[in-house]
Amino acid sequence: MRKILQIINKNLGPDGFSDQEFKGSVYFQGENGLDIDKSEYIRLLDYFNNALKTSGGSVTPNDDLLVVFKHELSKIKDVNSVKTESNYYRSTIILDSGLMALCHEENSAVSKAVDLILSFSWDTIDAVELMENTSEDVFHFFRFHVKNHSGHHDININRFGTDSLSASQKILTMLMEIIEYKNTTINQHAELQSKIEKLFNEEDYEAGVEALDEFRKFYNINDLDLDDSSFYFFNKTFGLRSMGRLDEALVTIDEYIKLYEERGEIESYTYELKGELLFKQKKYVPAINCFAISEENYENQGYKKGVKAKKEEVYAKLKKKFLKVPYTERQLVFVTEDIYATRLNNLVVLKKNSLPSHIKFLEGHPLCNEVYIGHPHKQDFYLPLRSYTEILFLERVEEFVYLLQGLGATHLKASKGPNNEVDLKIEKEQDFNPTQAPYIPNSLVWYHSEVNWQQLVDERINKSVVTYSEIISSLQTAQLSSQNITDLNAELKHLLPKAGVKVSKKHTFSKADFKVLEWMFKVDFEDSSKLPEPPNSEAQSGLSHSDSQSDVYQLNLEKYEEEVLFMIEDDGKIDVSERKILNRKIKKLGLTKADALAIEDKVLVSNYSENEKQYIEELKDMVEDGKISEKERKILNRYALKFNVSPKTQKEIDAKFIDL
């Protein structure tokens, strides 16, 4: 139980409370909150909030009311044979943070009610005493002396629902103990804050973070209206970041962000700070998103400009490293003129005039303010989301027919499946003239994920099957669920207005955009015994099931690694002419750009120490088209010192990645 609540209960009740000394009602806090009728509670809030309007204050259901005193009465006055009636509502609320006292008067002779309200926080009060007013109307009141000031606040004891001196003495004792406790804790609070600030100034972050955790035990760091909240979360985040404990720093700032989310608010700097932490971890996509959220919510133009520069800096890194971002985080891209904040975890906003390196689109694309989806097997290739279903379906059909020819097909018949919803121009019947024994063609993309096709290869080779049927459906390659589409549409309603586009049906998606394509294929094969063996052993190797497409692809990766080793044998780097040769090899071997680059990275850095590899990572982040600026050269020199890379080794590394 909180200390102030203990003080209240010790001096007044509820167990030892005597209502004979109070004319009104006293509502104490129980296990389930304030023990007050709901309708009475609503009246209480209304009276206080109407009185607080002019000061901009308020009392809400979220405020923790520790005890409430309330007294209502009516008085009739007869002045010069004119009777007037006055109705009074008097109340005092005690909170952990301070006190509020109200006197509301409605007079029948006056149309407008009168409110007298006083509120203050405990940390502004030095002492309290019970005093007597000896003027014409004798009454008693509490005088609260303001700290470091000659001023005071006076509250009539009737605001506490009593005119009893005995009851007032009990209230006085309670108030004195509260103020004494608060003054003690304020001093302790100030001392602990000073200690933490001193530790951080001395860069003793370990001790500083430990002291902050101690601070959390005694003070409410979850109340955003208190300075303790920002003091704790920002200092702890900075301390953990300074020690390189970035994951813990992210957990801390996320906890702070969540407190604002629960209030339906966004605190811009928290997202800027989170973006910096993510940037340090090279998590470029979420870092950009945090900076964008911060930029969009800052009101100060200077802050807005500063965080925009950070956003652009991270985007420049992302452009070079885009293919290294996990596919699940970049499955969808929204192409527009600038970078905007998005709430979807699988969507990246890209600038149309500044797209990442090494990604490809269909001819005529990308278009501005359109959504694209990554190819599931060629993850550097992005397709228009509105037509990707048909594109992937036709690609699979084409590859399937190509595989059938390699396996010795003689006749193929195609017809619409029962679930087909789209008319496509697919040749209904085709005849082939196989000239060699069954084999698996090179450069297949879909085969390694198509279990039915792999089983067909087994049956064709080992059992010499001569007929086969297959259904190919777009549902087999659907990448987005109906919920994914709903989430995307909701996000587009936020993104499109930022891009200056009015939301309409043509910019969002519906079930009609993803109609089912389904076709049935029946194939006849030539008798395998009638077909001659292929002319080379490499083709023959495709006959075994163990040489599935995934095995072939792995073999091609190994071949490419040999090619890279050969290219760097003379000078340890890949020059312009060697790059052209390697690009042709990538295409011939059917490798993705991402896999090829991973092989090159592995080969080029294999003989370096961990520190030197860290330097290489920073260098690769800066190099674009083999060039670096003079400013970037100075930064690289600082990284070389940081990672203890010798000038000789630095020069050797630079020669491999920079056109000197």
pLDDT in tens, 158-192: 999 998 898 999 999 999 999 999 888 888 888 99
Instruction: Say if residue 39 is in the same domain as residue 116.
Output: yes
Instruction: Give yes or no for residue 66 having a pLDDT over 70.
Output: yes
Contact 546, 456 (CB under 8 A): no
Report if residue 350 sits inside a domain.
no
Helix-helix angle 284-297:301-321, to 10 degrees: 160
More confident residue, 237 or 148: 237
Instruction: Say if residue 265 is in the same domain as residue 314.
Output: yes
Confidence category of residue 537, pLDDT binned at 50, 70, 90: very low
Range among 212-226, 337-351, 540-554 rated most confident: 337-351
Report if residue 351 sits inside a domain.
no
- DSSP assignment of 416-464: E-TT--S-----SEEE----SS--PPSS-SSGGG-HHHHHHHHHHHHS-
Domain end: 499, 524, 546, which one?
A: 546
Instruction: Say if residue 401 is in the same domain as residue 458.
Output: yes
Instruction: Give yes or no for residue 83 having a pLDDT over 80.
Output: no
Instruction: Give yes or no for residue 487 having a pLDDT over 90.
Output: yes
Helix ranges restricted to H, 63-204: 165-201
Percent of the chain having pLDDT more than 70?
Answer: 93
User: What six digits make up the tokens of 61?
Assistant: 């259901």
| Residue 349: how many other CB atoms lie within 10 Å | 23
Instruction: Say if residue 510 is in the same domain as residue 562.
Output: no
Confidence category of residue 627, pLDDT binned at 50, 70, 90: confident
What distance in Å separates the CA atoms of residue 658 and residue 595, rounded to the nearest whole number?
21
Instruction: Give yes or no for residue 450 having a pLDDT over 60.
Output: yes
Beta bridge partners of 381: 360
Instruction: Say if residue 75 is in the same domain as residue 166.
Output: yes
User: What six digits make up the tokens of 23?
Assistant: 């004319």
Confidence category of residue 543, pLDDT binned at 50, 70, 90: very low
Instruction: Say if residue 331 is in the same domain as residue 207.
Output: yes
Contact 85, 74 (CB under 8 A): yes
> Residue 545: its pLDDT value, please?
43
Q: Determine the average pLDDT of the residues in 85-113.
A: 87
Segment 104-126, tens digit of pLDDT? 988 866 667 788 999 999 989 99
Instruction: Say if residue 579 is in the same domain as residue 541.
Output: no
Instruction: Say if residue 299 is in the same domain as residue 227.
Output: yes
What distance in Å separates the CA atoms of residue 350 and residue 369, rounded to the nearest whole number?
10
> Residue 331: its pLDDT value, please?
96
Q: Which of 393, 634, 399 is closest to 515 using CA atoms?
A: 393
Report if residue 345 sits inside a domain.
no
Q: Determine the average pLDDT of the residues in 624-645.
A: 81
Instruction: Give yes or no for residue 379 having a pLDDT over 50.
Output: yes
Instruction: Say if residue 514 is in the same domain as residue 458.
Output: yes
Domain end: 184, 216, 235, which one?
A: 184
Which residue range is the domain that position 115 belongs to?
Answer: 3-184
User: What six digits make up the tokens of 169?
Assistant: 């003495």
Report if residue 497 sits inside a domain.
yes
Report if residue 500 sits inside a domain.
yes
Confidence category of residue 539, pLDDT binned at 50, 70, 90: very low
Confidence category of residue 561, pLDDT binned at 50, 70, 90: confident
Report if residue 379 sits inside a domain.
no
Domain end: 159, 184, 209, which one?
A: 184
Instruction: Give yes or no for residue 382 having a pLDDT over 60.
Output: yes
Length of the chain, in residues: 660
Contact 636, 644 (CB under 8 A): no
User: What six digits make up the tokens of 119?
Assistant: 């509120």
Instruction: Give yes or no for residue 11 having a pLDDT over 60.
Output: yes
What distance in Å separates the CA atoms of residue 37 and residue 53, rounded to the nearest whole number?
24
Tokens 């203050």 belong to 120
Task: State how far the alpha carbon of 174 is from the alpha carbons of 20, 43, 128, 185, 647, in Å.
Answer: 19, 26, 10, 17, 73
Instruction: Say if residue 97 is in the same domain as residue 146.
Output: yes
> Residue 535: its pLDDT value, please?
61
Q: State the pairing for strand pair 332-336/347-351.
A: parallel
Kindly report the average pLDDT of the chain as a whole number: 88
Tell me how far apart the terminal alpha carbons of the chain are, to the nearest angstrom.
70
What distance in Å separates the CA atoms of residue 650 and residue 641, rounded to the nearest whole number?
10
Residue 215 belongs to domain with CATH number: 1.25.40.10
Instruction: Domain count for the chain, please give it.
Output: 4
Report if residue 383 sits inside a domain.
no
More confident residue, 32 or 283: 283
Confidence category of residue 546, pLDDT binned at 50, 70, 90: very low
Instruction: Say if residue 554 is in the same domain as residue 542.
Output: no
Report if residue 99 sits inside a domain.
yes
Instruction: Say if residue 227 is in the same domain as residue 180.
Output: no
